Amino acid sequence: MTPRRKGWELAPEVSPRRAWAALVVLSLAAFAFITTELLPIGLLTHMAPDLDRSRSQVGLLVSGYAVVVVLASVPLARLTRRIPRRALLGATLGLFAVANLVAALAPTYTVLAGARVVTALAQALFWSIVSPAVTGLFPVAVRGRVVALFAVGAALAPVLGVPAGTWLGQQAGWRAAFAVLAAVGAAIAAVVVALIPSYAPAAGGAARGTAPDGRRFLMLLVATAVGIGGFMTLQTYVTPLLLDVSGFADAALAPLLFVSGATGVVGTILVGRTLDAHPIGSLLVPLGVGTTALLGLYALGTLRPATVVLLAGVGFAYAAFGTAVQSRMLQLAPGSTDIASAGVSTAFNVGIAGGSVLGGALLPGPGPRLLALVGGLLTLVALAVLVVDARRRAARPGARSAPSAVDLGRTGDDETAAATR
């Protein structure tokens, strides 16, 4: 491996085959982390009696997990900012494996909860460093596509990982599912150590944003927290809407949720085609689709065919927007992309937790239908924040004062072009 000069940074050079292999393995790591985070939801009825706890207490293993990620992401990124990426990623995935093994063997709920806290800490650090680590192995001009391909692993976790883990837990006991995740984590850790080059974080190919802008990055964080909060206001409690408003039977829930998850994977893949050329449009279009779908569910949620289509739209938009945010972070990060990635992770989890809390507060009174309206209004606010930000930039001296929607989508083109020169 030889270093190559790229602007202000000294980036590690690896073969294309090695870079693509690292991308696949780290995408599998994301798949494992998200599966682990959500797995107690699928195994709720099996874990609660075995641990002699209520279902709500087992549910805390998921909500508490998100709180730990919110609180730990930025501090952990700062504490580890000088540790070489290969060592840090390997240690993080090794910790993931050990924590899942402890969870599989946990004799009490307290031990299991402790293991989940450790896993959440590992996930907080993983999401803070993985995007710069994996994209830094590729040229700037294709990093949006790389982010999207990496995100496929996370998008597949609710569609394949959680159902597979739930099935295994039903057949062999919930502990077996966590034991398998421990083995998967150990294997991934070994491969990551073999594939990722060893270099100081500041020398990484994506250690700094290609078009750093502190104000615009802050606007991105605000839009992320509000937009994700809008999606999660409904998605956390989508089951009551499907059963009580749309009138679907219990047997239809699994296929409907699969449709939502599968369209999320499609959204992740499709947005990867536009991220590099149209970074801002890749944010605005998913938010527009999501807003339309959420408000449509409020207006047409009693019609089953419309509900299926609109639910697919929500899944598509949520995944595509999340992927676009990660890619945009790599451009706007005002300092270290590790710290910026930690900030994005925090904004995501603030949105997840905030949306869940808001939905839970509204559900007993107005009911599930109103959640779609409130969620749609929140994503509309997030969309407005990004549109105003894009128009403000386009109206700077030398730019046209009244850009069209196409112009807004292309606002970031000059940033990408400048970064590749």
Residue 264 has pLDDT above 60, yes or no: yes
Query: 89 and 118: one domain?
Result: yes
What is the reported pLDDT for 339? 85
Count of the separate structural domains present in the chain: 2
Residue 56 has pLDDT above 90, yes or no: no
What is the reported pLDDT for 292? 97
Over range 296-319, report the average pLDDT.
94
Domain range for 337 is 214-420
pLDDT band at 271 (very low <50, low <70, confident <90, very high): very high
Report the amino acid identity of residue 347.
A
CATH number reported for the structural domain that contains residue 30 in this entry? 1.20.1250.20
Q: Is 84 among the domain residues?
A: yes
pTM of this prediction?
Answer: 0.81
Q: Residue 12's beta-bridge partner residues?
A: 3
Over range 20-37, report the average pLDDT.
92
- Residue 420's alpha-carbon distances to 139, 142, 184, 272, 327, in angstroms, are 8, 10, 37, 18, 15
Mean pLDDT score of the chain? 84
Residue 379 has pLDDT above 80, yes or no: yes
Query: 187 and 263: one domain?
Result: no
What is the reported pLDDT for 404? 41
* Sequence-distant (≥ 6) Cβ neighbours of residue 233 within 8 angstroms: 355, 356, 358, 359, 362, 371, 374, 375, 378
What is the reported pLDDT for 397? 55
Query: 184 and 225: one domain?
Result: no
Q: Is 208 among the domain residues?
A: no
CB-CB contact of 196 with 133 (8 Å) = yes
Q: Is 293 among the domain residues?
A: yes
Q: Tell me: the pLDDT tens digits for 208-263?
A: 778 888 899 999 999 999 999 999 888 878 888 888 888 988 888 878 888 888 99
Burial (CB < 10 A; 0-12, 13-18, 19+), residue 334, is middle
Please state, for a pLDDT cut of 90, what percent of the chain lies above it. 37
What is the reported pLDDT for 2? 44
Q: Is 300 among the domain residues?
A: yes
Query: 257 and 371: one domain?
Result: yes
Query: 279 and 376: one domain?
Result: yes
Identify the residue with better confidence: 372 or 198.
372
Query: 269 and 164: one domain?
Result: no
Residue 3 has pLDDT above 60, yes or no: no
Q: Is 209 among the domain residues?
A: no
- CA dist 246 and 421 (Å) reads 53
Radius of gyration of the chain from Cα atoms? 21
Over range 156-172, report the average pLDDT.
86
Q: Reduced to 3 states, what is the DSSP secondary structure of residue 11?
A: strand
- Residue that has been written with the tokens 């998967």 in this structure: 184
Residue 7 has pLDDT above 50, yes or no: no
Q: Tell me: the pLDDT tens digits for 187-213?
A: 999 999 888 877 666 665 556 778 888
What is the reported pLDDT for 334? 86
Query: 275 and 162: one domain?
Result: no
Query: 198 and 221: one domain?
Result: no
What is the reported pLDDT for 251? 82
Query: 48 and 87: one domain?
Result: yes
Q: Is 47 among the domain residues?
A: yes
Residue 407 has pLDDT above 80, yes or no: no
- CA dist 415 and 330 (Å) reads 11
What is the reported pLDDT for 96? 95
